[in-house]
Amino acid sequence: MSARQTYAFQLILAGPDPSEPAQLERLFEAGCGDATFGACDGVYIADFDRAAPTYSEALRSAIAAVEQAVPGLRVLRVAPEELVSASEIAARTGRSRESVRQLFEGARGNGDFPRPATWVGSMRLWNWTEVAAWFDAEPRAEAMAPCDVQEVTNALLKLRSICERTEGNAPTAIARKILALTDFHDRNWATETFGSSTTPTR
């Protein structure tokens, strides 16, 4: 069994205000005690720190819990991954700052430590989900990289939105083709997101 990692991500929401006391109670009872709900510039958000064997499972379970807890509350997309510095990586993984430096410079390990996502001045910043997956003691639990997992999730959520407001089954057919071409999502995700008609035949 894959080791559980904690994945930090943000869900962009639409529908009822999730920060109202009654909604927060429903969300907590649905297993969203690892999330903080609020609004930014009128947009509802949920910041999760979810423990799961894989990033895709963390996203799948969080989306399902949010949407099942509050009628009408929908997940629109997953926001960009959290960026962390080398010092933050060290703090989260229980390593020294020097140990992390040796890893990203290739002095330790196999030389495949994730590359920085960006720089702020001279400071390197990494996507935390990629780093967390790299530190997993098991061989890569996901066939897809975390950044690709997020892109596929957002594509599926966008397609669901199109399906809901478009007559005909063209978007559904496209969704089905995408699901058939990727090993990212399991049948449960496909059923929860699009309904059983879009679950690909293996």
Spell out the residues 6+ positions from residue 99 whose beta carbon is closer than 8 angstroms to its own: 90, 108
The pLDDT mean for the chain works out to 78
pLDDT at 48: 92
Q: Per-residue b/e over 27-46, b at no fewer than 16 CB within 10 Å?
A: beeebbebbebeeeeeebbb
Instruction: List Cα–Cα distances, 100 to 82, 92, 93, 191, 193, in angstroms.
Output: 18, 11, 9, 41, 38
Per mean pLDDT, which range of 16-30, 81-95, 119-133, 165-179 is the poorest?
A: 165-179
pLDDT of residue 145: 60
Contacts of 190 (CB under 8 A, 6+ apart): 179, 198, 199, 200
pLDDT at position 137: 43
Could you tell me how far CA 81 lies from the centroid of its own chain? 8
What confidence tier does 3 reach under pLDDT thresholds 50, 70, 90?
Answer: low
Sheet containing 83-84: give its strands across.
83-84, 123-127, 118-120
**Per-residue model confidence as pLDDT tens digits over 51-70:** 988 878 889 999 999 999 99
Decide if pLDDT at 132 tops 90: no
Whether residue 191 is predicted with pLDDT greater than 60 in this model: the reply is no
pLDDT band at residue 6 using 50, 70 and 90 as cut-offs: confident
Among the residue ranges 75-79, 150-154, 188-192, the one predicted with the least confidence is 188-192
pLDDT band at 94 (very low <50, low <70, confident <90, very high): confident
